[in-house]
Amino acid sequence: MELINFIDTSDRDKLKIVSMFEEQGTEEISFEHLMMTFGFSRFKLNNYIKQLNEDLEKYGASLQIIYLPCTEVKVTGFTNEILRKLRLVYLKKSTLFAMFSELIVSKLSIKEFGKSRFFSRSKTYIIKKELEKILASVGLGISNKELSGSEEKIRKFAFEVYYYFFNGLEFPFSESVRKETSLVSRILMSEVKIESVPTRMTKLELFMSISILRIKNRHKVEESSVDLTKLRKDIFGEKLSFYKSVEENYLLSAQELHQEIDFLLVFLITEDVLLPDFFSLGIMNSQIQSLTSEMEKILITELPFSKELAEYEEESILLNVKVALFKLHFKIIYFSTTYFTSTSEQQLSFFMETYPRFHHLVEKFLDFLFSDKQLLHLHSKKVSLYYDYMLALISSVPMKYLKNKIYICVDFSKGEMYTNYIVNNLEFFGNLNIEVQRKLTNNTDIYLSDYFYSKALCRQVIWKNIPNGNDWRFLGEIVADVRKE
């Protein structure tokens, strides 16, 4: 399920148009290409462009149709920040989202929702049916005028929806809720060390706000999905300020309080606010252990370590990967969220070309993951999972320890100072596992110089003057080609 489905169809179509410019990193796209890609008629596309210009005017951005030499649409002043603001504007116009939000924050019935907006019964019913389709895709529904399903699942989905659209641009609830959340968060932070970085605080504020709203409406976490009793005691110990503030303000029993705090701890773990020792705390269920074990087997057999790598170094790297996989699988099982909802062909190609071996491993990981019938629902989050696994491998396995190192001989006639300038700039290619040489050897893969050496048996890249951005990009493409050979 795409979260963008919360937005009305016409506004969603307009977002598709401007998103294409942002994803492809271009300022001009063929009019015909936009029509074919999205199935728009010429009349509809012209109308959308006119409407977009009205919507973008306040942000200083615009779309322009250029007719010669061929009909193209050109965007000016458009940024990712504007795209996010526009997406939020369209969301707030959506009656579908308005109904969802009412079900999250209040006890207003579907019938009362329609009356408050002067909708007919049939229109209200249509909106409800559309919302039920979205909810059904994540295992939720509407029953007896309320959201139905696991309370944990409701809050997780609400968090994902609000974070995706609001994402620090605005606070989605009332000011009174914000003040209440701020008070509870301050008490929590007096007992749990949480770094006050903007993204972390925004996520915590949103999570706490949703929890407070749901608890006040008498929707409590039914039972802890994972037993965090030991972690709870290790963190809070005898400090009961947070416990008491939640218990007294929201009239929770001891059991309900523990379940709510366990759910909070799960969130803090998956967002890397807490970094517990997964092994000593015993918080790994059989599914997490099974997934990690099977993927560890794939790594051991297929991760191409260099022959020069010492055994203890290999064991250390594999342990780092195992810990990263434990954390990722904990998140998948207990609090899966989608931060990478879409990707362009260029983004995917970059990862495939830059980290081909990791790409191959992750493809195998995903095949195994989706072979588990209990996790089939995660298929809709394949893009996000692909990047999660790629980042887990990239952050855990230094590229220098892998095979397929690319050797580049740097030899310029302009002198040592110029050659050092090139060598220093090659450090930006560190993620490509490059080793710089000062003279040609049998291992040299690329000869980088300002003149052609006829006796070189490797690929040559010849730069005439000080290289510009295009020269560096071309070198990166050559490196990627050599790695494939």
Q: Smallest Cα–Cα separation from 207: which of 236, 246, 231, 181?
A: 181
Dump pLDDT digits (tens) for 320-367.
Answer: 888 889 888 888 888 877 655 555 666 777 788 778 888 888 999 998
Dump pLDDT digits (tens) for 192-208.
Answer: 877 777 888 899 999 99
Q: What would the mean pLDDT of 41-48 be, rounded to a whole number?
A: 95
CATH code, residues 406-484: 3.40.50
CATH code, residues 3-91: 1.10.10
Residue carrying the six token digits 């855990």:
396
Fold exhibited by the domain 150-276: PTS-regulatory domain, PRD (1.10.1790)
Dump pLDDT digits (tens) for 235-285.
Answer: 776 656 777 777 777 888 888 888 888 899 889 888 878 777 666 666 667
Provide the pLDDT confidence category of residue 402 given band limits of 50, 70 and 90: low
Dump pLDDT digits (tens) for 410-446.
Answer: 998 888 888 888 988 887 776 667 889 988 999 999 9
At 354 the pLDDT is: 75
Distance CA 408, CA 427 (A): 12
Q: What are phi and psi of 344, to 5 degrees?
A: -95, 165
At 338 the pLDDT is: 65
Segment among 192-206, 219-233, 445-459 with least mean pLDDT: 219-233
Q: What are phi and psi of 221, to 5 degrees?
A: -60, 125
Q: Smallest Cα–Cα separation from 260: which of 281, 272, 245?
A: 245
At 303 the pLDDT is: 79
61 vs 193, residue with greater confidence: 61
* 437's tokens: 């040489």
Edge-to-edge strand ranges of the sheet holding 28-30:
28-30, 72-76, 62-66
Dump pLDDT digits (tens) for 467-478.
Answer: 888 888 889 888
26 Ramachandran zone, left/alpha/beta (phi>0; psi -120 to 50): beta
CB atoms within 10 A of CB 322: 18
- Answer yes or no: are the C-beta atoms of 299 and 324 closer than 8 Å: no
* 434's tokens: 């490059």
At 445 the pLDDT is: 94
Q: What are phi and psi of 448, to 5 degrees?
A: -105, 115
Dump pLDDT digits (tens) for 10-43.
Answer: 999 999 999 988 887 788 999 999 999 999 999 9
Is pLDDT of 105 > 80?
Answer: yes
Q: What are phi and psi of 444, to 5 degrees?
A: -60, 130
At 101 the pLDDT is: 93
At 75 the pLDDT is: 92
Provide the pLDDT confidence category of residue 56 given band limits of 50, 70 and 90: very high
Mention every residue, 6+ apart, whose C-beta is less than 8 A from residue 219.
146, 151, 154
At 159 the pLDDT is: 95
Distance CA 5, CA 15 (A): 11
At 341 the pLDDT is: 56
* Mean pLDDT of the chain, nearest integer: 85
67 vs 43, residue with greater confidence: 43
What's the Cα-to-Cα distance from 291 to each of 58, 227, 375, 381, rounded to whole Å? 49, 19, 11, 17
At 430 the pLDDT is: 66
Is pLDDT of 109 > 80?
Answer: no
pTM over 0.85: no
Dump pLDDT digits (tens) for 157-169.
Answer: 999 999 999 988 9
Is pLDDT of 404 > 80?
Answer: no
Quote the percentage of the chain above a pLDDT of 70.
Answer: 93
Is pLDDT of 142 > 60?
Answer: yes
At 343 the pLDDT is: 58
- Answer yes or no: are the C-beta atoms of 29 and 21 closer than 8 Å: yes
